[in-house]
Amino acid sequence: MSRLAELRSLSLMNCMRLSEGGMLAAAGGLTRLTRLSLRGCGAVTNAVAALLERLPALHSVDLRGCEHVTGAARGFCRLPSLNVVLPSAAST
């Protein structure tokens, strides 16, 4: 993971079997990540909040197509500069 420490943008788009455990394990070394796309990752749930809290430089996360992320996920947006794109059903 040390070789990825400088990574600024990561797209895991359409990784249907991506587990939150796997994301959490990867996030530990990605402290400079500013953009993250989990678009279409069907296994992602509101528990993704724990991942986002480990990414202090994150400015943008795309959760469109993550059916298990609900409007309640808005509560995890503790980083003031974080722009979260939620699934359309969650935005109501």
Question: Mean pLDDT highest for which of 22-26, 28-32, 78-82?
Answer: 28-32
Does residue 92 carry a pLDDT above 70?
no
Query: Which residues have a Cβ under 8 Å from the Cβ of 22 and sit 6 or more positions away?
Result: none
Determine the average pLDDT of the residues in 57-71: 85
- Residue 91 has what pLDDT? 47
Q: Is the dihedral of CA 38, 39, 40, 46 positive or negative?
A: positive
* 2-91 CATH: 3.80.10.10
Where along the chain do its domains lie? 2-91
Please write the tens of the pLDDT for every residue from 36-63.
998 998 888 888 877 787 888 888 888 8
Does residue 89 carry a pLDDT above 70?
no
Confirm if 34 and 59 have CB atoms less than 8 A apart.
Answer: yes
